[in-house]
Structure 1
Amino acid sequence: MKTISLEEVAKHTSKKDVWVIIHGKVYDLTAFLPEHPGGQKIIMKYAGRDATKAFDPIHPPDIIDRFLSPEVCLGEVDAASLASAPKVETEQEKQLRIAHENKPRLDEMYNAFDFESVAKNVLPPDAWAYYSSGSDDEVTMRENHNAFHRIWLRPRVMVDVAKIDMSTSMLGTKTAIPLYITATALGKLGHPDGEKVLTRAAAKRDVIQMIPTLASCSFDEIVATRANNQTQWLQLYVNSDRTVTQKFVEHAEKSGIKGLFITADAPQLGRREKDMRQKYSQEAPDEMDNDDSFQRDEGAARAISAFIDPSLNWKDVAWFKSITKMPIIIKGIQTAEDAVLAWKYGCAGVVLSNHGGRQLDFAPSAVEILPEVIDALKREGCDPKKDFDVYIDGGIRRGSDIFKAVALGAKGVGIGRPFLFAMSGYGDKGVERLIQLYQDELEMCMRLMGAKTIEDITPDMVDIRNLKDHFVANPTDYLAKHAYEKMQPRGNLSKL
């Protein structure tokens, strides 16, 4: 391959002749410039220089080979000159570096909220906006967690709980705890290794990972990272070009994926205004009027998801069953009626989910509709414990939340954002510790509730009389609240 000097690359910086460096290779993106889904501005920002740092968090590494012709690659840049090129630390990079250096020790992370607090400081603003945003007023995003507060526990005592067994089986795979790492997009926004961090941590802690369609790493990279006998599931956004979807599904099955989770709640992406505002702030005013290649107010989410097919419907389940033997689960169920339809159309299960509060604001939380879903399935002659797996995601932040979900009939729970936050601050070890914290909390909750195994967790152990009541606030103990808010954490936690 031809070697090209940095000096030569630096000459090509106009819209009529734009070269960029990505992973040491030089690409002529002149013809592709008007077609780039992320707009022309970001390419022009790196015209004539190395764009790898901006490219990696958003794109899987094989995307150029898959979507651009080989002719756009002009050659390789001289590695020695690239390595010796002066690297200027921006003010933002300096602030993030200092935040990382001053973050608390990993052993000072005691719960999921601690990881979120650290992530807010160590993530770049665009990454934080994308990871943390919900739709519209973010009511549903907050409600996902708040709903668990309306479920109270009914502890049983005088039970031999010397040994606690948290293991369970999900879609035929035995796992250490009834949780899985659910699919979340753009892992490299938080860590250079992206979703591979989650794969490695899941293997260490014996939990299942769901691979996202919109991962920063390629599907094959994530699969290649898994340990022997490690179970992975696939979250699927259905492409408008069904040929593309069929090839992906067939490739996933050949790669050993054990479950196909079809996302059904995103025929159009919700208005994630935090993400949208961040995208807007990155655009220069002089391009606002003459670059129509991108809707600048849509944010990162829109940029990576324009391919999703809004025509997906129940009749398509038969087609999916014809192209794969993987169990099919519909992800994004938000009513009991749709859960019953999934059962009738022959799916293996459902995930009750409102997309983490990122789609339709004021959609119900998954745990709120869980009891009515279980009841509706039973009325249809379906036994959710044997015939049909019901999972939930959204808002699970404590081991007691997992307990409550299982008590109400969930086979297991999916957790997404907290693992992104743990990964962003502490990499593999952060994700491993967070899984361990969930295990520790669930073990304590089971012991104090008198449940030795997952099978011992039953509906009569929870009080859900207030679950549907969204509007009655608990009385506030202002003295205790004031004292709590004045407490200052010790050690490095004070730097949060």
Structure 2
Amino acid sequence: MRPINIDEYREAARHILSPDAWNYIAGGSEDETTVSENTQAYGRWRLIPKIFRDVSTRDQSVSLLGQTVSLPVVLAPTSPLRLAHEEAEIAQVKAAARHNALAILSMDAHHSLEETAEVSNGPRWFQLYCYGDRSLMKEVIAKAEASGHSALVVTADAFYPGRRERMMRTSFVLPDHIRMGNLEGLKIDPAARRPDGSIRRFALTWSDLEWVRSCTSLPIVIKGVSSADDAEMAVRLGVSGLVVSNHGGRQIDQALPSLDCLPAIVDRVGAAAEVYIDGGIRRGTDVLKALALGAKAVLIGRAYIWGLAVAGEEGVSHVLDIFKQEIDVAMAQMGLSDLKSLNSSYVAAATNYRNS
């Protein structure tokens, strides 16, 4: 039977993927506490429906950095998608475009920026890891601009490898058929290569962020923010958006769940930047909880990879359908005709709810 929710897609994908691919995608660092707590955090909040509202029509559209998309669910930059399905990023952008949803392309994508731009004119942002040196990154940024990406997403929490014990146990390495399309054909300094031929990432500092800002007219989003102090500094340096994220629990274990970090960051930056969130989102009600706590949109990663693994582009599209349907039903029950009126009055901490 076709999966009817994200957990069923996860279970279906587990039976399709090889053990190595499953462990790479599903796993996190060390005890994987943060992986599970990202999801559990949503269970600590409850929804408060409101009655006698006209919800005969309902609108899920949101404006992200000035661009209207049809729903507040964004396909996060993840890699390597080809580990799940040969269509990889082609399926990602085509499925997103079918829904007028935003897709963020990974720097580490198998298919290059140009290849994905050829098959989709939908909303697309580009995620930047900094490989090699500044001259190489300046060339990649120019490619992102030229291929129609409307924002640059700088990932700030994955410069150093996490201790992912599932992969350590099997000495996992990426298969030879997976490539890094965005670096092909570029001049790479031999000093930037590791002994195995891979290219080193360099860890950004605040001054490097200022340099990235000077290289592009695109709005910049920082992905991987957990601290309100960091969020405030990023905004001071001209950042337009922030993704509250712990990299899906893949980098450092025991990190605070993304949802627990969200309210303080929203409170600190106010209207100075748009705030988004990823990590652990599995239901339409999770999306509404995040938005009620101040997020402008949510990013999903593993959730759509399960759909990709099961049915390629159709699977990714169906995952977006599921979120859209779940959000719509929840909006009707909560008295919401659109998302603009959604605020913290629609949610309560579960512990307080039980005590009242």
TM value normalised by structure 1: 0.65
- What does residue 257 of structure 1 align with? 149
Q: Measure, in 2, the Cα distance between the counterparts of 1:401 and 1:462.
A: 11
Matches within 5 A, 1:203-218: 203-218=97-112
Matches within 5 A, 1:9-158: 104=1, 108-158=2-52
Matches within 5 A, 1:181-330: 181-227=75-121, 230-279=122-171, 307-310=200-203, 312-330=204-222
Shift of 1:231: 1.3
- What does residue 398 of structure 1 align with? 283
Q: Tell whether the 8 Å contact from 2:87 to 2:313 is kept in structure 1 after alignment.
A: no
Shift of 1:278: 2.8
- What does residue 314 of structure 2 align with? 429
Q: Measure, in 2, the Cα distance between the counterparts of 1:307 and 1:171.
A: 31
**Distance change in 2, residues 1:266/1:281 (3 Å):** closer
**Distance change in 2, residues 1:151/1:304 (3 Å):** farther
**Residue 319 of structure 2 aligns to which amino acid in structure 1?**
L
The answer to whether the aligner puts 1:367 opposite 2:252 as a matched pair is: no
Q: Measure, in 2, the Cα distance between the counterparts of 1:454 and 1:323.
A: 35
SS of the residue corresponding to residue 242 of structure 2 reads strand
**Distance change in 2, residues 1:155/1:210 (3 Å):** same
Shift of 1:172: 1.4
Shift of 1:124: 1.3
The answer to whether the aligner puts 1:449 opposite 2:334 as a matched pair is: yes
**Distance change in 2, residues 1:154/1:329 (3 Å):** same
- Could you tell me which of 268, 284, 300 is aligned with 1:376? 268
Q: Measure, in 1, the Cα distance between the counterparts of 2:327 and 2:287.
A: 7
- What does residue 162 of structure 1 align with? 56
Q: Tell whether the 8 Å contact from 1:407 to 1:459 is kept in structure 2 after alignment.
A: yes
Shift of 1:446: 1.0
Q: Tell whether the 8 Å contact from 2:277 to 2:297 is kept in structure 1 after alignment.
A: yes
Q: Measure, in 1, the Cα distance between the counterparts of 2:135 and 2:216.
A: 14
**Distance change in 2, residues 1:277/1:225 (3 Å):** farther
Deviations 1:431-480 (A, max 9, x none): 1111011001001111111111010111111113649xxxxxx9xxxxxx
Q: Unmatched 5+ residue regions in structure 2? A: 175-195
Q: Measure, in 2, the Cα distance between the counterparts of 1:188 and 1:464.
A: 39
- Could you tell me which of 390, 402, 416 is aligned with 2:301? 416
Shift of 1:218: 2.2
SS of the residue corresponding to residue 21 of structure 2 reads helix
CA RMSD, 1 decimal: 1.9
Shift of 1:429: 1.2
Runs of 4+ off more than 3 Å: 303-306
Q: Measure, in 2, the Cα distance between the counterparts of 1:217 and 1:415.
A: 20
- Could you tell me which of 226, 236, 241 is aligned with 1:344? 236
Shift of 1:279: 2.7
**Residue 435 of structure 1 aligns to which amino acid in structure 2?**
L
**Distance change in 2, residues 1:466/1:246 (3 Å):** farther
Q: Measure, in 1, the Cα distance between the counterparts of 2:162 and 2:49.
A: 40
Q: Tell whether the 8 Å contact from 1:422 to 1:431 is kept in structure 2 after alignment.
A: yes
Q: Measure, in 2, the Cα distance between the counterparts of 1:466 and 1:253.
A: 47
Shift of 1:416: 0.7
Deviations 1:40-60 (A, max 9, x none): xxxxxxxxxxxxxxxxxxxxx
Fraction of identical pairs, as percent: 36
Shift of 1:343: 1.0
Shift of 1:130: 1.0
SS of the residue corresponding to residue 238 of structure 1 reads coil
Shift of 1:280: 5.3
Q: Measure, in 2, the Cα distance between the counterparts of 1:131 and 1:318.
A: 32
Shift of 1:134: 0.4
SS of the residue corresponding to residue 455 of structure 1 reads coil
Q: Tell whether the 8 Å contact from 2:113 to 2:143 is kept in structure 1 after alignment.
A: no
SS of the residue corresponding to residue 340 of structure 2 reads helix
Matched length: 333
Q: Measure, in 1, the Cα distance between the counterparts of 2:294 and 2:92.
A: 27
**Residue 314 of structure 1 aligns to which amino acid in structure 2?**
W
Q: Which structure exhibits the higher relative contact order, with contacts defined as CA atoms closer than 8 Å and separated by 6 or more residues?
A: 2
SS of the residue corresponding to residue 361 of structure 1 reads coil
Q: Tell whether the 8 Å contact from 2:131 to 2:199 is kept in structure 1 after alignment.
A: no
Deviations 1:64-97 (A, max 9, x none): xxxxxxxxxxxxxxxxxxxxxxxxxxxxxxxxxx
Q: Tell whether the 8 Å contact from 2:132 to 2:199 is kept in structure 1 after alignment.
A: no
**Residue 359 of structure 1 aligns to which amino acid in structure 2?**
Q
Q: Tell whether the 8 Å contact from 2:34 to 2:249 is kept in structure 1 after alignment.
A: yes
Deviations 1:15-53 (A, max 9, x none): xxxxxxxxxxxxxxxxxxxxxxxxxxxxxxxxxxxxxxx
Larger Rg: 1
